[in-house]
């Protein structure tokens, strides 16, 4: 009993609502405009999705709990830039796959990729660190971000998990809905990449 209490005290405190909701929240009080715009977009396209609400999650373990409730792993959404800060990319890959810069750089013909700074993230996608999501491309009206999707996502993941432009909710939607409905509606194409499954 003592061990359990000590373990609980050492873990960061966060709340996860274990209810699996269908669609947008019935009460939008306190929700940010960018989150509401995300639901507006999905609903206007007839895209069905399930939702889990939670605190901002600081650990991988906490994120895995949300994955289990959603019944699908969250995809990694990595915001990248070139060395000159003139080209920006959003990479979508399976959550369990490790990202290797060299392999991606060679495929897209861009040397020295780095993670994009928060100011670019906010300026281009209206997102903050921890809430990066492919759905943030709806805010990239000038198409300054090139979307890269790992082939594994398209071929082996029927659903993807992602944030609705804020990291206090997570959504599960069909990968095909992303490809055939959402991306065309927000005027973004994608480049398929093959990243090695390095352990």
Report the 10 Å Cβ neighbour count for 197.
11
User: What integer pLDDT is reported at residue 118 of this predicted model?
Assistant: 96
Average pLDDT per 10 consecutive residues for the chain, totaling 199 residues: 40 82 95 97 98 86 87 91 95 88 90 93 95 96 96 94 95 97 97 85
User: What integer pLDDT is reported at residue 1 of this predicted model?
Assistant: 37
Provide the H-helix boundaries in 71-140.
101-108, 118-125
DSSP assignment of 24-74 equals S-S--TT--HHHHHHHHHHHHTT---EEEEBPPP-SHHHHHHHHHHHTSPB
What does the alpha-carbon distance between residue 47 and residue 177 come to, in Å, rounded to a whole number? 7
Q: Indicate if the alpha-carbon torsion angle 118, 126, 98, 114 is positive or negative.
A: negative
Three-class SS of residue 180? helix
What does the alpha-carbon distance between residue 153 and residue 95 come to, in Å, rounded to a whole number? 10
User: What integer pLDDT is reported at residue 95 of this predicted model?
Assistant: 84
User: What integer pLDDT is reported at residue 6 of this predicted model?
Assistant: 39
User: What integer pLDDT is reported at residue 198 of this predicted model?
Assistant: 67
């Amino acid at each position: 009993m003592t061990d359990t209490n000590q373990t609980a005290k050492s873990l960061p405190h966060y709340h996860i609502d274990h209810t699996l909701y269908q669609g947008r929240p019935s009460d939008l009080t306190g929700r940010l405009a960018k989150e509401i715009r995300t639901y507006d977009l999905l609903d206007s396209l007839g895209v069905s999705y399930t939702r889990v609400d939670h605190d901002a999650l600081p650990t991988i373990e906490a994120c895995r709990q949300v994955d289990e409730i959603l019944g699908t792993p969250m995809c990694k959404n990595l915001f990248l830039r070139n060395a000159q800060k003139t080209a920006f990319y959003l990479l979508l890959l399976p959550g369990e796959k490790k990202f290797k810069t060299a392999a991606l750089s060679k495929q897209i013909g861009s040397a020295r990729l780095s993670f994009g700074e928060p100011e670019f993230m906010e300026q281009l996608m209206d997102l903050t660190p921890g809430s990066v999501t492919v759905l943030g491309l709806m805010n990239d009206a000038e198409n300054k971000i090139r979307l890269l999707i790992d082939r594994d996502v398209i071929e082996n993941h029927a659903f993807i998990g992602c944030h609705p432009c804020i990291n206090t909710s997570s959504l599960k939607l069909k990968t095909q809905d992303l490809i055939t409905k959402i991306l065309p509606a927000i005027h973004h194409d994608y480049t398929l990449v093959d990243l090695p499954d390095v352990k």
